[in-house]
């Protein structure tokens, strides 16, 4: 009899505890905020590593390089046709005209010479010069001899004398020397000149200058 009572009391106690717990849970549920709904995530697909062939890496293969695109090349203008190069005709070299030979001198043409001549030197005013010299020709005769004193300052003859010997020799002493007076010359620059002409029948030597010598007259 006592055992039955104990069982009933224990059962009632357990039921009452359960009722209190349910009541407490209900109140606690009403006071707490609702819990967030858990996010359902789609599981990642599983890959069967055994069913896929393993990728082999070519350790020696270089990384692909990106070739730059070539710049568009501008089209060259059409070239004009090059005209043919004309080779100039060679310039003809003029043939030089032959130098004419000087006319041969006739063997009958006379020639004039002078020897033992003296030349006046620079001298003071009123000085004296002795003029000597012998003129001769190899053919014919001496037709004319001219002695003169030429002034370099005025450009004119200041003294002149002519002789017509018609001999094959002629001496300046006593002829030209006697006619040209140096003592009357004024101070200045002068030239003493002697020329002659020889003739041999119809042939002439022409005027030949035998002496041409400059000198000065100065104040003493």
Q: What is the DSSP string of the chain?
A: -HHHHHHHHHHHHHHHHHHHHHHHHHHHHHHSPPPPPPPPPPPPPP--TTTSPPPPP-TTSPPPP-PPPPPPPPPPPPPPPPPPPPPPPPPPPPPPPPPPPPPPPPTT---EEEES------EETT-------EEEESSSEEEEEEEEEEETTTTEEEEEEEE---BSEEESTTTHHHH--GGGPPSEEEEEEEEEEEEETTEE---EEEEEEEEEEE--
Q: What pLDDT, on the 0 to 100 scale, is given for residue 42?
A: 59
CA nearest neighbour of 135 among 155, 107, 115: 115
Q: Within 10 Å of residue 72's Cβ, how many Cβ atoms?
A: 6
Residue 148's pLDDT is 97
Residues 6+ apart with CB under 8 A from 164: 143, 144, 145
Sketch out the chain's domains with CATH numbers: 112-218 (2.60.40.2550)
Tokens encoding 106: 């006739």
Which pLDDT does position 43 carry in this prediction?
Answer: 56
Q: Which pLDDT does position 199 carry in this prediction?
A: 96
Q: Kindly give, in sequence order, each residue whose CB lies less than 8 Å from that of residue 193, ignoring residues fewer than 6 positions away.
A: 146, 147, 148, 149, 150, 209, 211, 212
Start-to-end Cα distance in the chain: 203
Q: Given this model, what pLDDT does residue 65 score?
A: 59
192, 177 in Cβ contact below 8 A? Answer: no
* pLDDT beneath 50, residues of the chain: 49-50, 55, 57, 59-60
- For 45-66, the pLDDT digits (tens) are 555 544 555 545 454 455 555 5
Q: What is the pLDDT of residue 59?
A: 47
């Amino acid at each position: 009899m006592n055992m039955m009572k104990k069982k009933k009391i224990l059962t009632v106690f357990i039921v009452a505890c359960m009722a209190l717990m349910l009541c407490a849970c209900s109140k606690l549920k009403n006071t707490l905020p609702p819990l967030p709904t858990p996010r359902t995530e789609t599981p990642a697909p599983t890959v069967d590593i055994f069913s896929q062939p393993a990728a082999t890496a070519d350790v020696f293969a270089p990384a692909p390089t990106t070739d730059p695109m070539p710049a568009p090349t501008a089209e060259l203008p059409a070239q004009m046709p090059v005209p043919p190069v004309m080779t100039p005709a060679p310039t003809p070299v003029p043939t030089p005209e032959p130098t004419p030979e000087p006319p041969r001198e006739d063997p009958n043409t006379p020639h004039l010479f002078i020897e033992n001549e003296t030349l006046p030197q620079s001298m003071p005013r009123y000085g004296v010069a002795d003029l000597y010299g012998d003129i001769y020709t190899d053919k014919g005769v001496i037709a004319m001899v001219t002695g003169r004193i030429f002034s370099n300052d005025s450009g004119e003859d200041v003294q002149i004398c002519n002789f017509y010997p018609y001999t094959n020799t002629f001496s300046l002493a006593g002829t030209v020397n006697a006619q040209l007076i140096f003592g009357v010359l004024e101070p200045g620059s002068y030239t003493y000149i002697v020329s002659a002409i020889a003739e041999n029948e119809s042939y002439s030597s022409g005027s030949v200058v035998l002496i041409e010598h400059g000198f000065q007259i100065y104040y003493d």
